Amino acid sequence: MDIQRGRTNRRRFLLIAGLPLLTVGAGMTYLLWPEPPRRTEVRTDLEPLNRRLGPFLGELTDAHWLGYDIEDAADDRSIPGPDSRIRVVGVAHLPAGGAAAITGKSDHAFAATGAPSDLPTALKQYLPPDAAWQHSPGFDAYANGQGAAGQASDEIPTGRYLFDTARDLVHFDVLYHFT
């Protein structure tokens, strides 16, 4: 009988001491496990851009861009929020004379501006360092309104567009808010 009681006490001790140790070990493994990196693969497909930006920019070619949820923690361990904000940022070529046609419209009052400041590192190599960028808040408002007109009511775009007329380039940085 003493042998049976010894085994029971040992099992009880192992259960009481081992369960918390296993729980702490599993928790530490979860916390220290490396997170997967955020996808920063530069995309070159044109169909999504032409569908969203083409109505007011024209047919885009030779695009380099990223599209990602700015609040995404790059892991699947968090609970998704009720809304998401998708940033679409990049550079593309316009048809010949396309940038001059857009910037030449007097109702948008384009002015010279500096290079984009909040550009993801993966895209920096695709923007010419000597580009003569032009910007117009009026065109931004027009383009955002055009984007909203063609989208579902729960997609609210806000964006900034810069043009280089010498190269027929457009730099776009658009944020779509899905609610």
- Span 49-81, pLDDT tens digits: 999 899 999 999 999 999 988 876 555 555 556
| pTM for the whole structure | 0.71
Q: In angstroms, rounded to a whole number, what is the distance separating the alpha carbons of residues 105 and 42?
A: 32
On whether the CB atoms of residues 110 and 128 are closer than 8 A, the answer is no
pLDDT of residue 15: 72
Mean pLDDT over 5-34 rounds to 73
- Span 94-111, pLDDT tens digits: 999 999 999 998 888 999
For the chain, give every domain's residue range: 1-33, 47-178
CA distances from 98 to 60, 114, 118, 166 (A): 10, 20, 25, 10
CA distances from 86 to 16, 71, 74, 164, 178 (A): 48, 9, 13, 25, 8
